[in-house]
Structure 1
Amino acid sequence: MTTEPTTGEATETYRRRIAEIWSAALGTPVTDADHHFFAGGGDSFQAALATATTRREWGLEITVQLLIDHPVLADFSERVARFVDER
């Protein structure tokens, strides 16, 4: 019997993948849900790269402003999960 993941489990799946995307953009491992993209060394170029990859990954219409407004991994991941659910 297959069950649908709970909201928390689904968000965790997004968080893990976005952590990989951020790690690639930043050139350093991102493992903590409280990781702040810009405090962790991210700049505007890396933000554009991470946002573009996220956009392609899930076919979303998001901009860098989403990352600027929600620079903490857990928060950004939750927003992405919501956008995917709303499609």
Structure 2
Amino acid sequence: MTGGPATDEATEPYRRRIAEIWSAALGTPVTDAGHHFFAGGGDSFQAALATATVRREWGLEITVQLLIDHPVLGDFSERVARCVDER
């Protein structure tokens, strides 16, 4: 896998929307692709809330474990984009 510009362009809409979802769940603005969900104050309840919103938004069958395994916004967004593409 390459992390070049094409990947960045393809995941940008996901990253923007997930940043909004995380901001709502955390109660604080999330704008940086390097934002770490848990280091930024997130807990298991907020992770479940954010993950449920992502599931509803894109009709995915993902669990909180995806967020635990990929807690950085850019990485999580890329994983979500892949899941959408694989449907």
TM over 0.5: yes
Amino acid at match of 1:14: Y
> How much does 1:8 deviate?
2.3
The percentage of counterpart residues that share the same residue type is 91
Q: Which runs of 5+ in 1 are unaligned?
A: 1-5
Structure 1 CA distance for aligned equivalents of residues 35 and 7 of structure 2: 21
- Quote how far apart the aligned CAs of 1:9 are: 1.5
Corresponding residue for 1:31?
31
CA distance in 2, matches of 1:80, 1:24: 18
Amino acid at match of 2:83: F
Q: Give the match's secondary structure for 2:62.
A: coil
Q: How many positions carry a matched residue from both structures?
A: 82
Larger CA Rg, structure 1 vs 2: 1
**Structure 2: runs of 5+ lacking an equivalent:** 1-5
Name the structure 2 match of 1:13. Answer: 13
